[in-house]
Amino acid sequence: MKKMKKFLLAALAATFSLAPMQAEHVVIIGANDTHSQIEPASDGLGGVLRRRAVYDQIRHENPNTVTVHAGDAVQGTVFFSLYGGEVEYAMMDSLGYDIIILGNHEFDNGMENIAKYYKNVHAKKLSANYEMSGTPLDGMFEPYVIKRYGNKRVAFMGINVQPEGLISLKNYDGMRYLPSIDVADATAKYLKEVQKVDYVVMISHIGYTSYDPGEPNDVDIIKSSHYIDLVIGGHSHTTVKPGTEMATVKNADGRLIPVGQNGKSGKYVATYDLDLETGKVVYKHYKVDETWDEAAKKYTAMDRWLDYYRHGVDSLMNNPLGESVRFMKNSSHALQNWVSDITMDIIKPLSGIKDVQFAIMNKGGIRTDMPEGTVTEGLLMAMFPFDNRFVVLEITGQGLLDALKVMAGRDGDAMSKELKVTYNAKGEVTSAKVGGKKVDPKKTYRLVTIDYLANGGDYMVPFKQAKRLFVDDVKYGNHVIDYVRDLSKKGKKINSTDEVRMVKK
């Protein structure tokens, strides 16, 4: 705790204020997990020009407005695959963000790239529980900021997710994580009791629910806190609907604390209208749809600037590679099965290892839906955007069972047809078969996966103890693109099965 206190006291320099003004309300505009959705998504929702129109209308109607982004501004469309964040981070200033925090996907291209782009972003950058001394991000972040409205002071603090098991180690090497639940409570207490602020707003990227059951989420932090007054969240892609039971959580004193989140891809914009006299918060969602198109037409300079980047994206999105027999949602068993099965087709000639027995892939690595009909190069790039490589592992049966237990804890992952698993409500593996035969803890098995999982990502620690037989040096999404191209040359189409290969019983 001495280090914690030293860290918090050193943060005194982070305090700043706006010019005093008489005010009874402050409206906070909240965004999270916009994931490079520059243009409207396939369902017609979202888009940066529309979001700017929403933000500007809210700011016009409310003179005391703060605009925040709760992380994962990048990764998810070809804009990021092609330009590495150049578009999204430039948009931060165009959209007028006052405060931003890091998401886990900000680290996808490493801290050097975050520093490269963030140095040009004018928003205040917050993180109370990442210690970044000696890293490329040293000195760029503050634990909190304080804004003054009349005789009231509102503090905003940033709380970030545990990177271990979620972010590739090489992409955050040297950064130290401080437990979110401890830092959030200690920082909020310090802000209330020492800085004498009236309200503490936590902007977080840890999730409304926990991806890893062992890590705290927004609800857990609220339940343990006496001092936090509002939580604006991200990471779990939860749509916390205003007016529902989810939108408030009782804190340690039994007081109801508002908490919000807007799903993903910028399809909704949230506002939190904080009454500075009473502390009451009115939480609303704005749907970002075609009704904002007329208002967005006035942003001609922004639109023209985007045209250069659209040209590069369109050249890939309009380049057909193959045909899909059916629509497959990115979260569906069908698409997870397809990815895992073609991985088996790809890996044997690629690695030269003929006795690879099955594939395990991460369902979170599939970022977009597979359409029915034409499949383009750009769509596949967006579907598999991460810089991950195929790895062949030799693992003991016990190690495999331990890995399957991790997967059962999140209701399964993508796996090829050779592997069949059942598990119970406690997350215990009750049956596991490879090629129709029960997994023997004392035998060894050969599987193909990606380096992210092989390095323990997605909490697959058992894979770290496995022996590596092959590591590819090409991004695996490129192999998928080549596979679909060859499939088309053979006159075949993309298809899959809805079979559930990891079954909860």
Query: What is the DSSP annotation of 193-219?
Result: HTS--SEEEEEEES-SS-SSTTS--HH
Residue 8, pLDDT > 80, answer no
Token digits of residue 131: 């210690």
**Cα–Cα distance measured from residue 70 to residue 158, given in angstroms and rounded to the nearest whole number:** 8
User: What does the block give as tokens for 119?
Assistant: 């140095």
C-alpha 72/C-alpha 67 separation (Å) is: 15
Span 47-61, pLDDT tens digits: 999 999 999 999 999
pLDDT at 144: 98
Mean pLDDT for 224-235 is 97
- CA dist list (Å): 216 to 143, 253, 474: 19, 19, 36
With the C-alpha atoms ordered 204, 207, 210, 211, is the resulting torsion angle positive or negative?
negative
Half-sphere exposure of 444 (CA within 13 A, CB side): 13
Task: Tell me the fold of 319-504.
Answer: 5'-nucleotidase;  domain 2 (3.90.780)
User: Taking 70 as the threshold, does the pLDDT of residue 13 lie above it?
Assistant: no
> pLDDT at position 4, please?
47
Query: In percent, how much of the chain has pLDDT > 70?
Result: 95
Confidence of residue 451 (pLDDT cuts 50, 70, 90): very high
pLDDT beyond 80 at 23: no
Tens of pLDDT along 361-372?
Answer: 999 889 889 999
How is residue 105 annotated by DSSP?
G
What's the confidence (pLDDT) of residue 97? 98
Given this model, what pLDDT does residue 458 score? 87
Q: What angle do CA 109, 462, 449 make, to 5 degrees?
A: 55
pLDDT of residue 90: 95
Question: Helix (H, G, I), strand (E, B), or coil: what is residue 318?
Answer: coil
Cα–Cα distances in Å, from 395 out to 306, 332, 381? 48, 27, 30
- d(Cα 338, Cα 375) in Å, to the nearest integer? 14
How many CA atoms, within 13 angstroms, populate the side-chain half-sphere of residue 77? 29
pLDDT in tens, 31-41: 999 999 999 99
> 6-20, 30-44, 139-153: which range is least confident on average?
6-20
Residue 155 pLDDT greater than 70, yes or no: yes
Q: Is the pLDDT of residue 22 over 90?
A: no
**Amino acid 214: pLDDT:** 77
Residue of 178, 164, 249 lying closest to 211 (CA atoms): 164
The lowest-confidence range among 81-85, 133-137, 211-215, 407-411 is 211-215
1 has a pLDDT exceeding 90: no
pLDDT of 130:
98
How far is the CA of 65 from the CAs of 28, 259, 276, 415, in angstroms? Answer: 6, 18, 13, 47
Evaluate if residue 242 carries a pLDDT over 70: yes
Would you say residue 14 has pLDDT above 80? no
Instruction: Label residue 16 by pLDDT band (50, 70, 90).
Output: very low
Q: What pLDDT sits at residue 457?
A: 87
Q: Which residue, chain included where needed, has tokens 């916390």?
A: 240
Structure tokens at 387: 């810089």
The Cα–Cα gap between 228 and 185 comes to: 8
pLDDT of 136 over the 70 cut: yes
Decide if 94 contacts 87 (C-beta within 8 A). Answer: no
Tokens of 333: 């068993």
Question: What was the pLDDT predicted at 485?
Answer: 97
Average pLDDT over residues 77-97: 95
Percent of the chain past pLDDT 90, that is, above it, reads: 88
Decide yes or no: CATH 3.40.50.300 for domain 2-311. Answer: no
Average pLDDT, the chain: 93
Q: Count of residues for the chain? A: 505
User: Of 121-130, 292-301, 449-458, where does mean pLDDT reach its minimum?
Assistant: 449-458
Kindly tell me if the per-residue pLDDT of 11 is higher than 70.
no
Tokens 């437990």 found at: 179
Q: Average pLDDT for residues 68-77, to the nearest whole number?
A: 95
Q: What is the pTM of this model?
A: 0.84
Task: Delimit the CATH 3.60.21.10 region(s) of the chain.
Answer: 2-311
Do residues 133 and 180 make contact, with C-beta atoms less than 8 angstroms apart?
A: no
Locate 326 and state its tokens.
């059916």
State pLDDT tens for residues 339-366: 999 999 999 999 999 999 999 999 988 9
Q: Where in the chain is the domain with CATH 3.90.780.10?
A: 319-504
Q: What is the reported pLDDT for 137?
A: 98
Distance between CA atoms of 93 and 302, rounded to whole angstroms? 11
